[in-house]
Amino acid sequence: MPDTLTVTDNRTGRTYELPVANGAVRATDLRQIRVDDNDNGLMSYDPAFLNTASCVSRVTYIDGDRGILLYRGYPIEELAEKSTFLETAYLLVHGELPTAVQEREWTHDITIHTMVHENIKRFMDGFHHDAHPMGMLLSTVGALSTFYPQATRIHDEEQRRTSIWRLIAKMPTLAAMAYRHSMGFPYVYPDNDLSYVGNFLNMMFKMVEPRYQPAPEIEHALDVLFILHADHEQNCSANAMRSVGSSEPDPYSATAAAIAALYGPLHGGANEAVLRMLERIGTRDAIPEFLAGVRAGRERLMGFGHRVYKNYDPRAKVIKRMAEQVFSVTGTTPLLDIALELEKIALEDEYFVSRKLYPNVDFYSGLIYQALNLPTDMFPVLFAIPRTAGWLSQWEEMLLDKEQRIARPRQVYLGPERRPYVAIGQR
């Protein structure tokens, strides 16, 4: 059987044979389909990219119907159990798990870049006391580009490598500075003897003790959460990273764009939105009324539903198990009871069942962050830190892909036809 698609244009009666490769036809192959010489050719119309592959990728694989997520071929459940965040970041960026020597070098290369220029403090100081930390993060990551003008040399592999180390290394530093600014606490310098996550906790929570030692269970829980959030193929923020990166600015600017995309409540802002929703519901008794609001379209059950998963999000499964472990140490909260009850009812409710709406990664992550004493408006920031490794992997893959060019979608124009300008007095 040939790998082709035969299309008949009923407007002209002509038939075309389009090649099919890797389960896709090329949208540009449709352009030969024309009614007459004035026709620019057929386009595919796909608002919000519901069925359009914008790239080939070898980074992350999702099978949404079966609830499978692989980074470079490795199942997320195995990485969450056996890997560390930094090792997973290496895997995403380089395509293979590191050898012991490579892992040591990678850890060293990231760790020596954890400091930020002292001037960054002044940027931070300029923010209002109640500025959202995501706003502070995206602005200061964008500002980093001005400190590293050589990072614009994106076709130089060495420059790309250094930018990747710097971005992965400095993200926790900037995130912690944003938090300390909002609390009015002095900034804490990195402690490079600690692990990636341990140092982040140090920069967040160190007070007057001479040396901060993170609690091992908390360090481990956060490390697992970072692994789970490290990449998720062509989501909204990865698409922003690729799209902005395709015009070839430095990667700090492209990462700032990706953070902005992540900020929204339908994406990385959902973990914060889940917690605020649970607080608003307040008691188990109020759940039926809340769900009635969802069914009536007045409410949205945050932390439920996904563009790709039409099954339980595999990350949510790991997180739910981890939530049980964390809560066995920290003690449970009333919000967890509400979340468990909400999930139970929703999974049996016709509205959610018929739409294949299951809990996603954000449903329980916020509860864990809260149990770890992390403030609610920092939740999206906690998503952005590990996702940086995924963004950078996607960005470099895009740059090295000979088929990629500046991202520039087409449109179906429905506005007015050409018309003459009318002077203001005659309108």
Task: Give the residue numbers marked as catalytic.
Answer: 267, 306, 362
**Quick one: which of 214, 245, 303, 366 contacts ligand CMC (CB under 6 A)?**
303
Q: CA torsion angle for 248, 250, 252, 253 (degrees, to 10)?
A: -50
Residue with the shortest CB distance to ligand CMC:
305
Cα Dmax for the chain: 80
The minimum distance between CB 26 and ligand CMC, in angstroms, equals 24
From the list 169-177, 246-254, 355-363, 417-425, the region that binds ligand CMC by CB under 6 A is 355-363
Residue 276 engages ligand CMC in binding (rule: CB under 6 A): no
Q: Which of 337, 252, 217 is nearest to 286 (CA)?
A: 337
**Quick one: which of 270, 275, 326, 372 contacts ligand CMC (CB under 6 A)?**
270
Q: CA torsion angle for 344, 349, 354, 355 (degrees, to 10)?
A: -60
231 touches 390 (CB < 8 A): yes
How many Å apart are CA 282 and CA 284, to the nearest integer?
7
**Quick one: which of 69, 143, 230, 301 contacts ligand CMC (CB under 6 A)?**
301
**Quick one: which of 69, 120, 167, 357 contacts ligand CMC (CB under 6 A)?**
357
Residue 306 engages ligand CMC in binding (rule: CB under 6 A): yes
386 touches 85 (CB < 8 A): yes
From the list 175-183, 253-261, 358-366, 392-400, the region that binds ligand CMC by CB under 6 A is 358-366
The minimum distance between CB 155 and ligand CMC, in angstroms, equals 30
| Angle 301-306-312 from CA coordinates, rounded to 5° | 90
From the list 58-66, 139-147, 317-325, 356-364, the region that binds ligand CMC by CB under 6 A is 356-364
> Tokens 């300029």 map to which residue?
126
**Quick one: which of 267, 276, 310, 321 contacts ligand CMC (CB under 6 A)?**
267
Binding residues among 383-422 for ligand CMC as defined by CB under 6 A: none
The nearer residue to ligand CMC, 353 or 400, going by C-beta atoms, is 353
Residue 314 engages ligand CMC in binding (rule: CB under 6 A): no
Contacts of 138 (CB under 8 A, 6+ apart): 256, 259, 260, 263
DSSP letter string over 361-373? THHHHHHHHHHTT
Residues that bind ligand CMC (CB under 6 A): 232, 235, 266-268, 270, 294, 300-307, 355, 357, 360-362
